[in-house]
A and B are shown apart, each in its own frame.
Chain A
């Protein structure tokens, strides 16, 4: 698994490092810590002495500090060296013979575009980012950035609101086809958190679509065969937003949002933003 962690210089970014390290410790993921500075003249000159470098070296140390034992996948690169390629600065955090890679990358330009481009370039399976908190989900001073990334990424996205181990993963599903990658992502998140899994089927005026019901049944059987404590709950589309707000306090909300998903309509741009902004839990957008 490859995890891209988008970080800025605010305390909520520092606050997600432990959660990311926990995820990486269990999945033995290659991890990129990504920073984005303003493009053009606004970004100023960049060098090893730039304050952003110090911040990110701190993040790197905090991350590696979580891996104290000899089985760490990450072998620390003691010498700090910075290189530049096509305007992207990179600091290796691990040695060449490290089992898994940790690196810092600093891009410049429009933050959401740069995050999405880095995810594409590095073939990331998951983008993780924090935000300023429930009701005010800002990232680097931009109010709708987590929402934009969640909406436009081609891989799964996790917006971490607070450092809390969820007891339950609540997955909303309304489409007959889900990707293998998204099913696997749920497996990992449930396993790591030792959480239960609630699969929500969205019903409209005509009830649950037959093909969605079949798919839900298949998915439920799959998870139960994997000894995951899973069940299905049917929720009317009109009541979904309220239900999600209610259960997000002690669980993690996951939305299956493929190309055919009605969730794209139910959680339209404003509502996805609302969920990402107002949910108390972390939010996982599955693709």
Chain B
């Protein structure tokens, strides 16, 4: 019998309320979740281990979200990245997709919307693993 590993998710947002809102729901849906409010801490963490899915804000002090996701994709190209931002522009969306992100969500969004995006990202990731 094989035990399926939980999908691991890293959430990085400098506003604690975002992780506080997302984590319980993701835990409940069977994901393994780690949350960070400082990009420097999240950066250290992705240097220790890979995550299946990363959800990151863009506008943050220190290492910004674009730099963070660039490093995350460089280290682990199979990681699916979902950008969430309160300051969305066409340019930031274009830039994010050019870095290979899975989806781009402007805040505010309902929990149901991001759960659906995470579900699709997880399916895509699993399909890629199965095909490899």
Measured CB to CB, the residues of A under 8 A from B are 1-2, 25-30, 71, 73, 99, 123, 125, 180-182, 184-185, 187-188, 191-192, 226
Instruction: Return chain B residues, CB-CB under 8 Å to A182.
Output: 108
Q: Which one of A2, A27, A99, A187 contacts B113 once the chains associate, using CB atoms below 8 Å?
A: A2
Known contacts A28-B104, A123-B113, A125-B108: A73-B93 contact under CB 8 Å: yes
In the complex, chain B residues 87-132 whose Cβ is within 8 Å of any chain A Cβ: 87-90, 93-94, 97, 103-110, 112-113
Q: Tell me if A187 and B107 are in contact (CB < 8 A).
A: yes
Chain B interface residue count, CB cutoff 8 Å, equals 22
User: At the interface, yes or no: B23 with Cβ under 8 Å from chain A?
Assistant: no
| Candidate in A1, A27, A188, A192 with the most chain B CB atoms within 10 angstroms | A27
Q: Nearest chain B CB to A98's CB is how many angstroms away? A: 12
Measured CB to CB, the residues of B under 8 A from A are 15, 17, 21, 59, 86-90, 93-94, 97, 103-110, 112-113
Q: Tell me if A26 and B88 are in contact (CB < 8 A).
A: yes
Instruction: Return chain A residues, CB-CB under 8 Å to B59.
Output: 226
Instruction: Return chain B residues, CB-CB under 8 Å to A1.
Output: 105-109, 113
Instruction: Return chain B residues, CB-CB under 8 Å to A185.
Output: 108
Q: Which one of B17, B89, B106 contacts A29 once the chains associate, using CB atoms below 8 Å?
A: B106
Q: Tell me if A71 and B97 are in contact (CB < 8 A).
A: yes
Known contacts A188-B87, A188-B88, A191-B87: A26-B106 contact under CB 8 Å: yes
